[in-house]
Amino acid sequence: MVLCAAMVAITSCSNDDNVPRQLEMSEYWMMPSTDFGSNLKSVATTEAARGFSVSQNGNKLSLLQTVESVPFAWEYVGDADGNYRYAKCMLANGFADQLKAYLIGKGYAEQADYSFNASYTVLVNQASKLFVSIYSGTGSAKAGNDYFLFGPYDESLYSWTRLGTLKSDLGMLTPLLGYGCNAELIKDYEARAGHIVHKNTDEAKGFYFYETKDAMFPAVAYWLDEETKTKLVETRLYFDSNKMPESSRIIEMLGKLGYHYTYSIDGTDESQIFFDYDAKKTIYVAYSKPENYEGTFLPCIKFTEVNMENNLPPLSVDFPWLPTNVYQMSIDEAIKWVEGQSWYAGREADYFDVWPMFKTKYPEFPYVVLMDDEGFYASGIVFAETSLVLRALSIRETITGKYGCVYKEGSSLYPTFINNDAEVPYEFQYVYDEGMWGYPALIVEPQ
């Protein structure tokens, strides 16, 4: 990427050795540093050695140099840890086309799907995983306004420099989620997407609001941190209240982004939460106006960097599965069955001095109890350590997938699963909070 003709005044002579040769712009270009992720101080040292005048202000480097009367005014932007993330480079008047031609010669290719605004041209070098987004306000020359952004080509969900909307076949429009990034990247991203700045945008308050023209998601908003107004902390994607998708579709949409549904999003449950267990980030889905909410409410998907891991159910747990052939075996046969399971750890004192209780090898589900009715195994209880553990996402998947139960829609008291194929149909229930037995539990009992 380094210009072969170094940053020095270069002239050569024609045949009469008196007329200076006019150099093409492509001979001047020396692209910004690609040392993304490195500390700005070390980058500054390297760039000073390349002939730039470098100064640092917080998480930004300002670089200046003039070559053959052509000014290079660049800015390297870092994150909160002072690590280099991307560069912004001002363009001399009318040089956008020359830059584009130069980049194409260096292996970049224009990507029309990343810009729906005629003022922006996006080029990507797939081999080096770099992108350049060129802004030319008039398509030619506009002093002091034309620039290009330069950074890593990274289309992952939380990338600062993501170019695409990741719009899925389900209609999910994904806004910029580069938490910690500045307003410049937000504005560039939204402008390239062809979205329109809404009158409610208030940059002084760190609030940016855009109309998207999307049928399902007509607006998107961004909030920067309250203290400095420099870092993205929240994004909201607003629904058209007349075209809101079913909750099952929202679950599928957000699932494609890596978010797991943790709480119901039906109208009777105010806990409408999705969580990315790998990135530790949270989504709230708001269909209806919360109680005591003041001001205008719009249904939306709220994306945040909040880590709720300690307040949400685990993604996966092991839990003991009790015999389901209720009233088909004696209580003694059921006891022997339990004692033969891999999760069995020992016999405990009878529960309430009546029913056999056992210790398990699973800390999340430490005890199970068998209940008898006139010598028959009639039902069972699996006690959970906490109600959050009981909500583990893998439990429902195991009950429906491995054990063939069907979720009972509209379960009023507890989420319930039914096996109608059994000789004596049984229900398998989550009993949340402290439940009917004094502790959170899973219950197996006849239907």
Structural domains of the chain, count? 3
Q: Are residues 299 and 190 in the same domain?
A: yes
pLDDT value, residue 25: 62
Give the bridge partners for 109, in sequence order: 124
- Main-chain dihedrals φ then ψ at residue 95, nearest 5 degrees: -100, 5
Q: What is the pLDDT of residues 1-53, one digit of tens each?
A: 333 333 333 333 334 455 444 456 666 778 999 999 999 999 999 999 999 99
- Give the domain extent around 345: 331-446
Could you read off the pLDDT of 178-234 as tens digits, one per residue? 999 999 999 999 999 999 999 999 999 999 999 999 989 999 999 999 999 999 999
What kind and span of H or E run contains 381?
A: strand 376-383
Instruction: Among 276, 311, 346, give the residue marking a domain's end.
Output: 311
pLDDT reading at 144 higher than 60:
no
| Residues 229, 254 contacting (CB under 8 angstroms) | no
Q: Is residue 13 part of a domain?
A: no
Give yes or no for residue 143 having a pLDDT over 50. no
Clarify whether residues 110 and 220 are in a common domain.
Answer: no
Whether residue 251 is contained in a domain is answered as: yes
Residues forming a β-bridge with 427: 418, 445
Same domain assignment for residues 306 and 378: no
The 10s digit of each residue's pLDDT in 69-114 is: 778 899 999 999 999 999 999 987 778 888 999 999 999 999 999 9
**What pLDDT score does 49 carry?**
95
Q: Which of 283, 311, 339 is the last residue of a domain?
A: 311
Same domain, 341 and 265: no
Q: Choose one of 311, 345, 380: the last residue of a domain.
A: 311
Contacts of 163 (CB under 8 A, 6+ apart): 111, 114, 122, 124, 131, 133, 153, 155, 189, 192
- Asked whether residue 375 falls in the same domain as residue 407, the answer is yes
| H or E stretch covering 369 | strand 367-373
Q: What is the DSSP string of 391-419?
A: T-HHHHHHHHHTS--EE-TT-SSS-EEEE
- CB within 8 A of 138, min separation 6: which ones? none
Cα angle 278, 279, 281 (rounded to 5 degrees) comes to 120
Neighbours of 267 (CB within 10 A): 9
Assigned domain for 272 exists: yes
Across the strands, what pairs with 428?
417, 444
119 within some domain:
yes
Asked if the model's pLDDT at residue 346 lies above 90, the reply is yes
Quick check: is 162 in a domain?
no
Angle subtended at Cα 192 by Cα 177 and Cα 99, rounded to the nearest 5 degrees: 115
Residue 247, phi then psi, degrees to nearest 5:
-60, -35
How far apart, in whole angstroms, are the C-alpha atoms of residue 415 and residue 442? 10
Residue 124 token pair: 């990507």
Whether residue 194 sits in one domain with residue 138: no
Judged by DSSP in three states, 41 sits in: helix
Residues 298, 238 contacting (CB under 8 angstroms): yes
Q: Considering the entire predicted model, what is its pTM?
A: 0.82
Structure tokens that stand for 299 in this block: 């249904």
Do 205 and 291 sit in the same domain of this protein? yes
Averaged pLDDT for residues 382-393: 86
| Residue 261 pLDDT > 60 | yes
Residue 5 lies in a domain: no
Q: What is the dihedral of CA 158, 163, 165, 169, to 10 degrees?
A: -100
The CA distance from 56 to 62, in Å, is 6
Establish if 158 belongs to a structural domain.
Answer: no
136/236 same-domain check:
no
Asked which of 38-47, 269-278, 301-310 is least confident by mean pLDDT, the reply is: 269-278
Residues 336, 441: one domain? Answer: yes
Residues 187 and 307 occupy one common structural domain: yes
Do residues 41 and 138 both lie within one domain? yes
Q: Are 135 and 112 in contact (CB under 8 A)?
A: no
User: How is residue 226 written in tokens?
Assistant: 């309250």
* Residue 125 in this model has a pLDDT that exceeds 70: yes
**Residue of 253, 300, 252, 303 whose CA lies nearest to 279:** 303
Flag whether 18 is in a domain: no
Angle at 37 between CA 221 and CA 51, to 5 degrees: 110
Average pLDDT value for residue range 387-395:
84
Q: What per-residue confidence (pLDDT) applies to 13?
A: 36
In this structure, the answer to whether residues 227 and 345 fall within a common structural domain is no
b/e code 323-338 from CB counts within 10 Å (16+ = b): bbebeeeebeebbebb
Over residues 236-247, the pLDDT tens digits come to 999 988 888 888
